[in-house]
Amino acid sequence: MIYADKVYGKVNIKEPVIIDLINSLALQRLKDIDQAGYLFPHFPSTHSRRYRFEHSVGDYILLNKYRASLEEQIAGLIHDASHSVFSHCIDYALDTGSQSKHTHQDSIFQEYVKTTDIPKILEKYGYDIEYILDEVNFPLQEKDLPNLCADRIDYSLRDAVGVLEINQIQAQKVLGSLAVENNQWIFKDYKSARDYAEFFHKISDVYYAGIESAVMFNSVGETIRYSLKKEYINEQDLYTTDKLVLKKIKDCLSKDKKLTLLFARMNNQIAYENNPASYQFKVSCKSRLVDPLCRDKGKIVRVSQMDFKWGEILKKALEPREYFISYAK
């Protein structure tokens, strides 16, 4: 299978289990789950749409490139299978979600994957589903912030290419400065590590936790919450596709003025402001920052060990960003 990727270029995927998983219903569904949540039209028109499927395959490619075990490559490929429609917007729609941590998808991951066609594919090739679903087994794929992991590396580079902050050549230059040692991602030198840390900070500050994302999360979340309450959609719909849920919501607009208002908000047709003195919604955004490992003078150190100021930035920036949003009448 020849796969063309925005970050890695053309890749020849040969492993049968990987090809079957890519073609599974569970992974194909992610072709219509927006990576950002509901990208258009809150962000500039230069931004390209990105989907969970691309990131999932990209995660696999990255792990394969650095010779992770096939089990870890599989774990990377399927790690986002449990995302609902509109990705992390679900954390703003359901009481079980967390605005500051974006944990809903992770909390249902194992249970959800077992309801898909993934287990039968893994069984066909002799893999233990319980082992594959336990992220503790795969430290290259998943680690808590501020550590690097394949998931974090891929989505940061992929999103940056998507929003035109960097191009494919620059993304591949970052990859070329990375190495894997003892199941850890390590930059080959301090400058590369520091440059990437600052780059990641910018992407998070502007895109992952910026005001536009806060408005997107809130407006989409409130639309989903209201649509569930009115039974225009149901919980099963949340694990279909963005397109199907949008159609159901649009079909109900003519009979519900409040839904029409909410839908207008999520399509950026109503002005908003961030004002702590007077607001309708207090919105938290998960903030992300990394403190990469790197080699320096024969030792492995973190950026924060080399630069005290970065350690102070790290402490502050990892706190959730809060906004106080009001919409025009």
Give residue-wise pLDDT tens across range 267-318.
Answer: 999 999 999 999 999 999 999 999 999 999 999 999 999 998 998 998 888 8
Residue 329 pLDDT class (50, 70, 90 cuts): confident
**Which pTM was predicted?**
0.96
User: What is the phi-psi region of residue 100: left when phi exceeds 0, alpha when psi lies from -120 to 50, beta otherwise?
Assistant: alpha
Mean pLDDT of the chain: 95
- Run of H or E including 185: strand 184-187
Enumerate domains of the chain plus CATH numbers: 2-210+286-325 (1.10.3210.10)
- The letter for the amino acid at 171 is A
pLDDT of 41 over the 70 cut: no
Provide, rounded to the nearest whole percent, the portion of the chain with pLDDT above 90: 90
Residue 164 pLDDT class (50, 70, 90 cuts): confident
pLDDT of 45 over the 80 cut: no
Residue 43 pLDDT class (50, 70, 90 cuts): low
What's the rounded Cα separation, in Å, for the pair 181 and 142?
A: 15
Say what the alpha-carbon torsion angle 264, 266, 269, 272 is, to the nearest 10 degrees. Answer: 120
Question: What pLDDT is stored for residue 246 in this prediction?
Answer: 97
Query: Dihedral of CA 56/125/1/23: which sign?
Result: negative
| pLDDT, tens digit, 9 for 90 and up, residues 123-161 | 999 999 999 999 999 999 999 999 999 999 999 999 999
Q: Which residues contact 186 (CB under 8 A, 6 or more apart)?
A: 178, 179, 180, 292, 293, 294, 295, 300
pLDDT of 323 over the 80 cut: yes
b/e burial code for range 36-75 (CB count within 10 A of at least 16 → b): bbbbeebbeeebeebbbbbbbbbbbbbbbebebeebbbbb
Question: What pLDDT is stored for residue 317 in this prediction?
Answer: 83
Number of helices followed by number of strands (H, E) in the chain:
15, 9
Give Rg (Cα) of the chain. 20
pLDDT of 47 over the 70 cut: no
What's the rounded Cα separation, in Å, for the pair 146 and 161?
A: 22
Q: Is 256 helix (H, G, I), strand (E, B) or coil?
A: coil
CA distances from 23 to 1, 16, 19, 67, 125 (A): 11, 11, 6, 22, 15
Mean of the pLDDT values across residues 222-247? 98
| pLDDT, tens digit, 9 for 90 and up, residues 188-197 | 999 999 999 9
Question: What pLDDT is stored for residue 163 in this prediction?
Answer: 87
